[in-house]
Structure 1
């Protein structure tokens, strides 16, 4: 019996912790929905609690204010985004065409942003909570570095300065296209995704064709068409 009692005492904090984690996840999901619907500035803790189906008092057990909720949500989404770009921007193999590399990277990033529009909502409002701006800038720098790595595998012998410039351009084109993509739904969204892919491929094709191995480049371009 004493062993059973001790075991129960150990299990109770674990169960409370698990319930707490589920409640936090519920509140963050509700906050994401409210931020997307109204924007961060107009959102309120009452609206988030209502969306989560809990009382404001329950919300305040876990978060002191709206900003704390947004910071936690933003941190989690940025962590997921880092994982996504680490997978999507791995160096291409020799058999990977430019079109295939662009398609794969764009699809992964678009899917992430369509599944988690709250990050876009938090970063594009008049008020950005906490240190999300600084964290986003750091993520942006890391993202450029990963794009450089992918481009280096697709455009060998390109000078480092040119790779950096090209990586910044690719990211800028993607961010501009993403805003249009998220503004549409269904087939029209798919059409904008395809337009973005086409823009990136047509931007990068001349750089691929300018490589010293012109014959291999021409063959690679033929595979794209």
Structure 2
């Protein structure tokens, strides 16, 4: 029943919008009483939080599968292709749900959705695994910036951004350009040194 309720909530959030969806709508769509819904979810926000947690796990699992073993040491272009392919794949079933969950904040005190936080955590691990020397403070900033560049898939393209081939290509180019400056060797001959 929980899975049915979450699937119904996801469909309705996409179709009607979060603000215009009620727990009554979700219960009716799932074919259960609203009382049954309240046994598992005290309100609409709890449905959203549960959906974001579920899709955060899906994103984490899919990224781990795409980046297993030596994959973290692949050439940048191939590595970026794998990460973006995960977004394209997950955002197709159902179309746009990952994008919606990614761009919708969870609890009122959160700046980012739990789904976005999952991506940022995975990017932090990836940056660390690449072994590029940098301070912890810089790594935190780099991780946030990379997460925001990937977020362009959804913030620029909307819920279905990953289906926009032009946007995916431009996101890849932005990631490549930024990561190449980070992974480039020091340029001491010109007087420029990488920021620590």
Distance 1:93 1:108, change over 3 A: closer
Partner residue in 1 for 2:56: 78
Select between 28-37 and 170-179 the one with higher mean Cα deviation. Answer: 170-179
Aligned-partner Cα distance in 2 for 1:107–1:165: 24
Partner residue in 2 for 1:169: 145
User: Is residue 146 of structure 1 aligned with residue 125 of structure 2?
Assistant: yes
SS at match of 2:52: helix
User: What is the CA distance between 1:102 and its match in structure 2?
Assistant: 1.0
User: What is the TM-score with the length of structure 1 in the denominator?
Assistant: 0.63
User: What is the CA distance between 1:25 and its match in structure 2?
Assistant: 0.9
Which is greater in Rg?
A: 1
User: Is residue 179 of structure 1 aligned with residue 155 of structure 2?
Assistant: yes
Aligned-partner Cα distance in 2 for 1:205–1:181: 25
User: Is residue 69 of structure 1 aligned with residue 47 of structure 2?
Assistant: yes
User: What is the CA distance between 1:182 and its match in structure 2?
Assistant: 3.7
Distance 1:86 1:189, change over 3 A: same
User: What is the CA distance between 1:91 and its match in structure 2?
Assistant: 6.7
Partner residue in 2 for 1:193: 168
Distance 1:131 1:76, change over 3 A: farther
User: What is the TM-score with the length of structure 2 in the denominator?
Assistant: 0.71
Partner residue in 2 for 1:11: none
Tell me, yes or no, if the aligned pair for 1:92 and 1:150 is still in contact at 8 Å: no
Aligned-partner Cα distance in 1 for 2:55–2:15: 18
User: What is the CA distance between 1:36 and its match in structure 2?
Assistant: 1.7
Structure 1 unaligned segments of length 5 or more: list them: 1-22, 213-225
Tell me, yes or no, if the aligned pair for 1:85 and 1:109 is still in contact at 8 Å: no
Tell me, yes or no, if the aligned pair for 1:92 and 1:101 is still in contact at 8 Å: no
Tell me, yes or no, if the aligned pair for 1:151 and 1:163 is still in contact at 8 Å: no
Aligned-residue Cα RMSD (Å) equals 3.5
User: What is the CA distance between 1:200 and its match in structure 2?
Assistant: 1.1
TM alignment of 1:4-19, pairs within 5 A: none
Tell me, yes or no, if the aligned pair for 1:148 and 1:163 is still in contact at 8 Å: yes
Distance 1:50 1:192, change over 3 A: same
